[in-house]
A and B are shown apart, each in its own frame.
Chain A
Amino acid sequence: MPWLNKQPTWLIISISFLGLLLGWHLLVAWGGYARFILPGPVDVWQQFLIVLRDGRLLKHSLYTISEVIPGLIIGSLIALPLGYLLAKSQLAERLLSPYLIASQAIPVIAIAPLLTIWVRSTYWARVLVAVIVVFFPILVNIIAGLRSVPAELYELMASLQASRRQIFYKLELPASLPILLAGLKVGATLSVIGALVGEFVQPKSQGLGFLLVTARYQFKTALVFVVLVTLAVIALTMYGVVALVEKRMLRWQAKN
């Protein structure tokens, strides 16, 4: 449909979203499912208004966000120096990479209960799960980014008698930034999953995970949907923020 392809992105997304809602509505209306099995968009919307008005949605969302953002930041801050070390030191790579790769074979949902035993604070236990989920993809991208720096540019820096520090700030960091930011985008969405896994394992009192588990036990399926959509919106926003940072920092790429 060439006519449709000419429209702006927001319009195309709106059209597809309305189509999705309509299909969903018709499916529920004609399929005759019980509400606790598949609520319709109208039910979900009404449920959304309820939790929005009584403040529960905002409270639990903020709580989850307060776990997601530190999770992403701490995960990146650990991954950055470690990735640098692994990219630079063959010994460190030989020593550590088997453990790092093996750790990825273990699903985080299996370690999370242990973490909640070891970390007293419910909040920090959840942040820690987010950190663990975020850590690896960012680490891998930092290593890939540093390895992508052309050898010729190292030689240039050597010919200009640049110090180790200058090589890092003027060459390695900007050269690996595109790959690093791509990793951060993946990490941003994963951090939401991480925090949620943490909340699932320890569904105490607060967070969207807690709200989700509670809603499920009470067969308030419409509320489950509200939480899922909210999570998706949070992940999309996180992704969007990183993408915006990326666009600002990599302006030179747009000109290429």
Chain B
Amino acid sequence: MENQPFLVAEQVSYIFPDGQFHVLEDISLTINAGDFVALLGPSGVGKSTLLRLLGGLLKPTSGRISMADLPESSATDPIGVVFQRDNLMPWRTVTENVQLPLELQRQADQESRYRVQEMIELVGLAGFEGSYPAQLSGGMAQRVAIARALVHRPALLLLDEPFGSLDALTRERMGQELLRIWHALPVTVFMVTHSITEAVMLADEVLVMGGRPAVGDPAALIHRVPIGLPRPRQLEIQGTRSFQKCAKEIRSAIQV
């Protein structure tokens, strides 16, 4: 399924329903199956809005968003979302939090219990199954959120600045974890971030968004940078010249 268009947005615009506030204008993009795509842009430009449109949490004012049919996918909900905050339910244990999407789909059989455990192990939280969110660190809580977003085997994983509230070291480690998880699963990833390093480190392709919706200049995609760095990527790759070339290109695009 490599290089097959998976998610296609055609001339998508979005205006906030309560008024004239025009957020996005004429956005077209194609995400290939299995790719890792990062979206960069200044704060308030509407990155999260685009993510919510792609995830179906918002409906575009005009334009079309379509997802390829995946016959082999048994999931009734093809999308998993990880938000900036972990959004765990404090009254549920780690296991119960991860299990939530399956519960909502009324799946509570032996296989789903096995899958919950598998996800907890995949994100490296074996041994913490019975812990409550308040007993976890920020990074651990975000791992639970990732496990929860993946437990129903979505074909698309949307990440809205998932590591934005973590400290720099934890953040770096979580990025590596995310790469490992992505390699382990047949999942397409779309991630909003405001870290250029993180975007280059993780993604196959970086989209840059520009515009100033707050002053009536709706956002659009202004640049697209393919990241041809070899995989698997280790942290040391950040010192290479090709890494810095990509980062530099993105930085100059943002400043336009």
Q: How far is the CB of B98 from chain A (nearest CB, A)?
A: 12
Q: Is there a chain B Cβ closer than 8 Å to A94's Cβ?
A: no
Enumerate chain B residues within 8 angstroms of A170, measured Cβ to Cβ. Answer: 100, 103-104
B114 at the interface (CB under 8 A from A): no
Considering the complex, which residues of chain B in the window 76-112 have a beta carbon less than 8 Å from any beta carbon of chain A?
A: 76-77, 79, 81, 83, 85, 87, 89-93, 100-101, 103-104
B134, A160: Cβ atoms closer than 8 Å:
no
Chain B residues in the interface with A (C-beta under 8 A): 55, 57, 76-77, 79, 81, 83, 85, 87, 89-93, 100-101, 103-104, 132, 134-135
Whether A162 pairs with B104 at a CB distance below 8 angstroms is yes
Q: Which of A61-94 contact B (CB under 8 A)?
A: none
Does chain B have a CB within 8 A of A156?
Answer: yes
The 8 A CB mask of A153-184 against B (1 = contact, 0 = none) is 10111111110001000110011010000000
A162 proximity list for chain B (CB < 8 A):
104
The residue on A at minimum CB distance from B149 is A159
Closest to A256 in B: B134
Whether B104 pairs with A166 at a CB distance below 8 angstroms is yes
Q: In the complex the two chains form, what is the Cα distance from A256 to B100 in whole Å?
A: 21
Looking at the complex, which one of B55, B79, B83, B89 makes contact with A174 (CB distance below 8 Å)? B89
Query: Which chain A residues border B134 with CB–CB below 8 Å?
Result: 255-256
- Known contacts A156-B81, A175-B91, A252-B132; 13 additional CB pairs below 8 A are A152-B87, A157-B104, A159-B57, A159-B81, A160-B100, A160-B101, A166-B104, A171-B89, A175-B89, A252-B90, A252-B91, A252-B93, A256-B132
Q: What is the interface of chain A, defined by CB distance below 8 A to chain B?
A: 150, 152-153, 155-162, 166, 170-171, 174-175, 177, 250, 252-253, 255-256
Q: Is the interface of B mostly helix, strand, loop or mixed?
A: loop
B77 neighbours in A (Cβ, 8 Å): 160-161
Contact sample, A vs B, 25 pairs, CB 8 Å cutoff: A152-B87, A153-B87, A155-B57, A155-B83, A156-B87, A157-B104, A159-B57, A159-B79, A160-B101, A160-B104, A170-B103, A170-B104, A171-B89, A174-B89, A175-B91, A250-B91, A252-B91, A252-B92, A252-B132, A255-B132, A255-B134, A255-B135, A256-B90, A256-B134, A256-B135
Bound-state CA distance A158–B58 (Å) is 10
Q: Within the complex, what minimum Cβ distance (angstroms) separates A176 from chain B?
A: 11
CB closest residue in chain B, given A153: B87
A252 to B35, CA, bound (A): 39
Structural contact, A156 and B104, CB atoms closer than 8 A? no
Chain A residues near B55 (CB-CB < 8 A) = 159
Contact between A161 and B104, CB atoms less than 8 A apart: yes
Chain B residues contacting A156 (CB-CB under 8 Å) are 81, 83, 87
Chain B residues with CB under 8 Å of A166's CB are 104
Task: Name the prevailing secondary structure of the A interface residues.
Answer: helix
Q: Which residues of B contact A161 (CB under 8 A)?
A: 76-77, 104
Q: How far is the CB of A166 from chain B (nearest CB, A)?
A: 6
- Bound CA span A249–B79, Å: 33
B103 to A, closest residue via Cβ: A170
Per the bound structure, the CA–CA distance linking A153 and B87 in Å amounts to: 6
Residues of A within 8 A of B79 (CB): 159
Residues of B within 8 A of A153 (CB): 87, 89
Q: How far is the CA of A250 from the CA of B90 in the complex (A)?
A: 10
Nearest to A178 among chain B residues (CB) is B91
Q: A255-B135, A256-B132 are in contact. Are A152 and B104 (CB under 8 A)?
A: no
**What is the minimal beta-carbon distance from B155 to any residue of chain A, in angstroms?**
15
Q: Which residues of A contact B57 (CB under 8 A)?
A: 155, 158-159
Chain A residue numbers with a CB within 8 Å of B104 are 157, 160-162, 166, 170
Give the complex CA separation of A155 and B92 in angstroms. 18
Closest residue of chain B to A255, judged by CB? B132
Q: For residue A160, which residues in chain B have a CB less than 8 angstroms away from its CB?
A: 77, 100-101, 104
Q: Considering the chains assembled together, what is the distance between the CA atoms of A217 and B85 in angstroms? A: 65
With a CB–CB cut-off of 8 A, which chain A residues contact B103? 170
Interface centre among A152, A156, A175 (most CB of B within 10 A): A156
Which of A160, A162, A166 counts the most B-chain CB atoms under 10 A from its CB?
A160
- Nearest first, the 7 A-B pairs at minimum CB distance are A256-B134, A159-B81, A252-B91, A156-B87, A255-B132, A174-B91, A152-B87
Contact for B85 among A152, A157, A159, A175, CB less than 8 A? A152
Chain B's nearest CB lies how many Å from the CB of A242?
A: 18
A177 — which chain B residues lie within 8 A by C-beta?
A: 91
Residues on B with C-beta less than 8 A from A157 are 104
With a cutoff of 8 Å between Cβ atoms, the chain B residues found around residue A158 in the complex are 57
A124 CA / B134 CA spacing, docked (Å): 46
